[in-house]
Amino acid sequence: MDIRNKVVIITGASAGIGFATARLFAKNGAKVAIVARSKDKLNELASGLQDSLVVQTDMANAVSVKNMVKKVYGHYGRIDVLINNAGQGFDELVEYIDIKEFQYIIDLNLIGPLTAMQEVIPVMRKQGGGVIVNISSGLSKMHMPGMSGYASIKSALNTISLTAREELADEKISVSIVYPYITATNFEKNTIIGKNHNSIQDAGKQDEGYNSLPPPDSPGTVAQKILEVVISERAEQFVHDWLDGRK
């Protein structure tokens, strides 16, 4: 897809990967609808982006997600691309996963993106096509101690995405996945940490390759891969070669 003058929804746009993606897409001629909970941060970002739209949204709340899509469509009259980037980490050993915390992460990392997809698909169908990109995680292809809750949700997102790709192919709606590696953002700082964090760290050191991890990628590196996927409409994209080798 040529993104010039295309309407692109980017969730989790107030920082990190989403922030870098919004700037990159706008630089390449897209009209970006930037979505997050922090309206102040979105307004600051929007001040430097021509023809952008700020939509304060709680991606863990289905009603808020539905209202966001309606607002974007009402403003621009079309939606060409959805980038489901918003999410939060969750670290805990399987034995001790707090179900209430886990349910919140499911709502944010899986139900929110799924709801957004369900809302934009009819719009894209009516237009004759579109692109959906779901930001997964390399952890969904690994079995890292303490990461099962987060990884399992991202694995579910992978399956939904690739199945939707098959279901919607004849309607020219492309669904893709991007798998980031460790990225230099505040993601880890904002991760929900279980009570057994020290045990997670000790267990994690048993994972093959733990002590030889490459340095983190920049948000801009991930944003560039997202742009490439939207343009190429390929099914899956690993951001880092090291991660690709472990799939």
Q: Which residues are catalytic?
A: 150
Which amino acid makes up residue 132? I
Cα–Cα nearest to 217, from 246, 238, 189, 234: 238
Q: Which string of DSSP letters, residue by residue, matches 133-187?
A: EEE--GGGGS--TT-HHHHHHHHHHHHHHHHHHHHHGGGTEEEEEEE--SBSSSH
Strand partners, 217: 183
Residue 247: Cβ within 10 Å count:
11
d(CA 76, CA 53): 9
Both tokens assigned to 5: 């003058």
Strand partners, 132: 82, 175
* Residue 186 contacts residue 16 (beta carbons within 8 Å): yes
Residues in the chain: 247
